[in-house]
Amino acid sequence: IFESINLYPNPSPGSLGIRFAGARASNILVQVTNAGGQQVLSKTLQVAPNDYKILGNLPAGTYWVKLTDLASKTAAVKQLVVQ
């Protein structure tokens, strides 16, 4: 599922958007951590194939976005740069 998930745009002007192109319907836990290790966002999303979700704005910096499929318990981590 995670091969088809992209953070968009990346680098970003401030908003965090996630495109679930080709992903199957699922519940995804999204956890965003800043460079200092502080969790700045945690949200569970119900997604369908080809969904695009905007999660909000972040200040400039580098972030790690952990995506966890709650059904299969698989996870992936992607880097996001906010300018």
Is the pTM above the cut of 0.85? Answer: yes
Percent of the chain with pLDDT strictly greater than 90: 69
End-to-end CA distance of the chain: 28
State both tokens at 48. Answer: 């369908």
Tell me what the mean pLDDT of segment 48-66 comes to. Answer: 92
Beta-bridge partners for 44 = 29
Confidence of residue 20 (pLDDT cuts 50, 70, 90): confident
Residue 42: which region, alpha, beta or left (left: phi > 0; alpha: psi -120 to 50)?
A: beta
Q: What is the mean pLDDT of residues 38-61?
A: 93
Average pLDDT, the chain: 91
- 30 beta partners: 43, 67
Q: Which two tokens stand for residue 11?
A: 């680098």
